[in-house]
Each structure stands twice: as structure tokens, then as C-alpha cells.
Amino acid sequence: MSDPVPLTTDQPGQVASATPPAPGRSRRLSDRGLAVAFISPALLLLLAMSVFPLLWALYLSFTDYSATRGGPAHFVGFGNYTAILTSAQVHQRALTTLIYVVGAVGLQTVLGFGIAYLISRRTHGRGALTTLFLVPMMLSPVVVGLFWRFMLDAQFGVVNSMLGSLGLGQVEWLTRQRTALVSLIVVDTWQWTPFIMLIALAGLTAVPKYLYEAASIDRASEWFKFRTITLPLVWPLLLIAVLFRAIEAFRLFDLVYILTSGGPGVSTETLSFHVYKVAFLGFNTGTASAYGILMVLVVIVLTQLYLRYLNKLKED
């Protein structure tokens, strides 16, 4: 006579292991499967479109490969990197890029924060004003470039026409060494100040009101409130906006291409524009790859240093 089957058990685990799982019972496994199914297409796409080309570019950067010439790529070691790092042309473009990044991002930060601060103090029409200020950011940089190219034309442009009507002389905005870089900074500032403004506005509206109320009770001045409450609380957010803008500005290509073609001469030729020339005018793919890799490295290193500073700020 066999033992009777117990109706209940003190060790349900044993029973579970003894009986086959019912369909859909292993929920964890099923979730993982689902996750893999959903993520893998995007992951594969990322690998194919981003990681593989990056690794391939890294490989090419050590070769003399040319995309148009075809044929096998010959290993040249660090030859391309040495040539780039010791090139006076690259140093000149780096300096141009640095002036541009510091000038444009600095101006955008001051203006963006200033506009955000003024908007945040308004109670009526804040939404409409914010939307209006955001319009330039929504436009394609190529459209912005073409638009400003007409505006800044020395002969037929509306800017010089306005200066003329004020009795001021004509300015060669895009064809003089000093004004060309300033023009690029101004146009970039026109387009991207709203980005800083938007982030700053988010920060400003997030500052707890009770802090201002407490300061008011203590009869603190507006400047005191700004210096001790507003700025310290918005500063970390603003620095993140500066980081994004600086990375974007470092890669500036489109505005240069449309507005000045790097001119006069090469005085507004940024690193990105120079890489484009190396890559497509001579099809020196190996050199261009090394150039691109170095630019990525510079951005990564500077970003890491910046993020460390941000973290320190957060801890303080």
C-alpha cells in the first residue's frame, strides 16, 4: 500500500521542485526574455551604427588608409597621431576653437541666465515669453546660417543697412579676421542662448519660495537673496547646461561651413571643419580618423574633469 499523498506540506519548495512548472510560472525568466527581445534590436543597431564604426575608425587611425583609393590599409603606428599633435595647422585650429567655445558659451551663459532670471520674476506672460525665446533653438543650424549670412552681408544685409541709417559705417562682418569669428559667436549665441535660458529657468523655478520668504522677513536685499540663495542653488544646473553647450560648440561645423567657409583664409576654421577637409578633400581617411579620435579623447578628458568638479560642488 502506498503512502497517502499529503494534502499540505511544511516544505512547499520541495513540492515545487518535484512538480513541473506550470506555463508562465517562471515569471523572472519570462521578464528577462522579454527585456532581451525588446532591447536587442536597439542594442544591435547601436553596435552596428556606433560602436563598430568607432572601433573601425580607431583601427584606421593607425593606418594610411584612404577611402577613395581603396586597397589595403598599411599600419603606420602612431604616425597619424604624431603628425596631428605636432602640426602647427592643428594648433592654430585648436586655438580658434578654444576662443570660439569660451566666447560663445560664456556669452550664452550670461545672457541665458539673465533672461531666465528676468522671466522667472514675471507672473504674467511667462509661458508666452519662454516660447518666443525658444524659437531660434528650434531652427536648423543650416537655416540659421543662411539667414544670418544674408543679414550680415556687407553690401545688401539688413544689419549694415540699420547701421547706415544710424550714421555708422559699414562693417565687413564675415570677411574680416576679427569680425568673422565675432560674427560666428554672435550667431551661435543667438541660436543657443535659449538652451541655457531653459535650463536656468528650470533651476530658478525649483528654488523653494520659503527661502526667499525667510530672507524677506530678515529684510535681506535683492542682491543678497540672489547671491546667497538663487545663484548657489541654480549654479550646478547651469554648469550642466554649460557642459552640454561646450561639447556642442567644440564640434562646431555647420555655421562655419555656411557663414564663412572657414575664412577669411583659415581664421575661422575650427577643428571639426578642418577634420572635414582632411577627410573629404584629400580623403586621408587614416589621418582624419586619428584626428576624430583625438577630438573625442579631448572631450572625454575635459568632461571627466568637469564632472569631478561638479560632484565636488554637490558634496560641498
Partner 1 sequence: MQLATAAMLLVATTVAACGGGEDDGGKASAPKAPATIPELTKDPLTLSFIWFDWPPAHALEDFANAEYKKERPNATIKVNTVPNANWHDAMFTQFAARKTDFDIAILDSQHIGEAVTNGNILDLTDFVKNNIDVNAYNPYLLAAYGQFPQAETGKRDENASLYGLPLLGDTWTMIYRKDLIGDKPPQTWDQMISAAEKCQADNPGVSGLAFHQANGSDAAAVTYNTVNGVYGGNLWDAKTRKIDGVLNDAAGQEAMDVLVNKMKPLTAKGSGNWFIDEVNAAVAQGKACIAFNWIAASGGLLDPKQSTLGTSREQILDKLGFATLPSQKTNLVPLGGMGMHVSAYSPTANQAEALNFMKWFQRADVQKKWAAAGGVPSRTDALQSPEFINAGPFNQVYADSVPRMRDMWNVPEYARLVDIENTNVNAALNGAKDPKTALNDIAKEQQGVLDSSGRKGGGGL
Residues 187-246 that bind partner 1 (CB under 8 A): none
Contact region with partner 1 (CB under 8 A), list: 129-137, 182-190, 220-228, 281-289: 281-289
In whole angstroms, the minimum distance from the beta carbon of 241 to partner 1 comes to 19
In whole angstroms, the minimum distance from the beta carbon of 209 to partner 1 comes to 41
Give the residue, chosen from 94, 107, 137, 154, that forms a contact with partner 1 under the rule CB under 8 A. Answer: 154
Site size for partner 1, by CB under 8 A? 73
Residues 172-191 that bind partner 1 (CB under 8 A): 172-177
Kindly state whether residue 29 participates in binding partner 1, applying the rule CB under 8 A: no
In whole angstroms, the minimum distance from the beta carbon of 164 to partner 1 comes to 12
Kindly state whether residue 97 participates in binding partner 1, applying the rule CB under 8 A: no
Contact region with partner 1 (CB under 8 A), list: 122-130, 210-218, 230-238, 250-258: 250-258
Of 62 and 113, which has the nearer Cβ to partner 1? 62
Contact region with partner 1 (CB under 8 A), list: 2-10, 84-92, 94-102, 225-233: 84-92
**Rounded alpha-carbon distances, angstroms, from residue 249 to 3, 106, 139, 169:** 80, 11, 16, 31
